[in-house]
Amino acid sequence: MKKTLIASAVAAATISGTAMAQESNLPTIYGNIQYAITHDNFDNGPSEVDHFDNGSTLGILHDHEIAPGITGFFKLELEDIDADDKANSSGIDGLDEAYIGVRGDSFGQVWVGSDDSMYETSVDEISNLFEVATMNLTGLYDTGEGDLVQYMSPSFGGLTLGAALQINGDNKEGGKSYPYQLAAIYEVDALELAFSMDSNDGSTEYSSNDLRTPKNNENTYGLRVSGNLDNLRLTGQFQTRKDVADIYGLMGVYTLGKNQFALAYEYKELDGDMKDAAGGESKQDTITLQALHNLSDHMYVYVEGYLGGGDERWGYDANNDGNIDGYADERSMAAVGAVYYF
């Protein structure tokens, strides 16, 4: 899960990396180690404590001037380090992001490769803020983060337009397909409005080679409204997909010095085939709280709490074999963690 503070740090590294590239043409190296401990409890089900790597990564950035006003750039970010468990870690064996691109003052930015998709970055703000995020309600879009060609326009009086196309060739699991995403983001003063859609073409689940069951190629539509009032940021989200679900979300984030406090409520109601697959049980919600403290410019700690309800909507794996053994009406989770990044 993308972390807000780390994403900001990477953005800062990109800016400093630009100056470094101009002076010495050296790449910028960045990374982080993330640890978390959770207590996860299912009502009338299992309860467990876990210590895990919450997404440690190592990355490289570089850009250079192709011509006045035109910059070429590249990023490679590796993950799946399993920094908590030396016995089972095989080192860095996963890819998070890898792309190359060109940006210019007059035409915007175009980039190719694996990156957060246009829909995710424009609409899906709530789940991306929280660190553990296991219980946040998201995932109405299936187009993954690989094989993407993306474009973001320059700002036209506060309006920015974006598009993404995923190119799945003949050898792709599930066959050839060309799912796409469109986005429009408007910013004026302290207000942000964002609208995006995902065509969900193709047969595979989000960022995987697993085939979707049941298969559904209906479009996903998402709307986000955010506003900043001094140290308080308020966000409302709505996502819908025919015969899948509707998701509503509200979040407030208050910043006080080195501290950040967040509260979110999300509600999900299944529709059509997904409701039938759940035996007619359709409603699910979750409340998320976070208190985060920056120890320094490179390290922060946090506490998060999650409380979820619904109609037998929280599946659990009691035997730890990868299979769902039962469902609970309520689930609660407490998490504490620490992150060091550079």
Measure the CA–CA gap between 149 and 174, rounded to whole angstroms: 20
Q: Which amino acid is at 289?
A: L
Query: How do residues 43-102 score in pLDDT, each as one tens digit?
Result: 999 999 999 999 999 999 999 999 999 999 999 999 999 999 998 888 888 999 999 999
> Which residues have CB under 8 Å from 112's CB, separation 6+?
99, 100, 101, 148, 149, 150
Confidence of residue 10 (pLDDT cuts 50, 70, 90): low
Average pLDDT, the chain: 90
Query: According to the model, what pLDDT value does residue 14 have?
Result: 52
* Alpha-carbon distances, residue 333 vs 244, 314, 330 (angstroms): 26, 12, 10
| Terminal Cα-to-Cα distance of the chain (whole angstroms) | 18
Percent of the chain with pLDDT over 70: 90
Query: According to the model, what pLDDT value does residue 203 have?
Result: 87
Q: Which amino acid is at 166?
A: Q
Query: According to the model, what pLDDT value does residue 94 have?
Result: 92
Cis bond before residue 214 (omega within 30° of 0): yes
For position 204, which CATH number holds?
A: 2.40.160.10
Structure tokens at 329: 């009406």
When mean pLDDT is compared across 14-28, 168-182, 183-197, 209-223, the lowest value belongs to 14-28
Higher pLDDT, 14 or 121: 121
With a cut of 70, say whether residue 198 has pLDDT above it. Answer: yes
Could you please report the per-residue DSSP string of 116-148? --HHHHHH-HHHHHSSS-TT---------SSSE
- Total domains present in the chain: 1
Structure tokens at 205: 């689940």
- Do residues 242 and 230 make contact, with C-beta atoms less than 8 angstroms apart? no
Query: According to the model, what pLDDT value does residue 171 have?
Result: 86
Which residue range(s) make up the domain with 54? 4-341
With a cut of 80, say whether residue 19 has pLDDT above it. Answer: no
Residue 191 has, within 13 A of its CA and on its CB side, a CA count of: 5
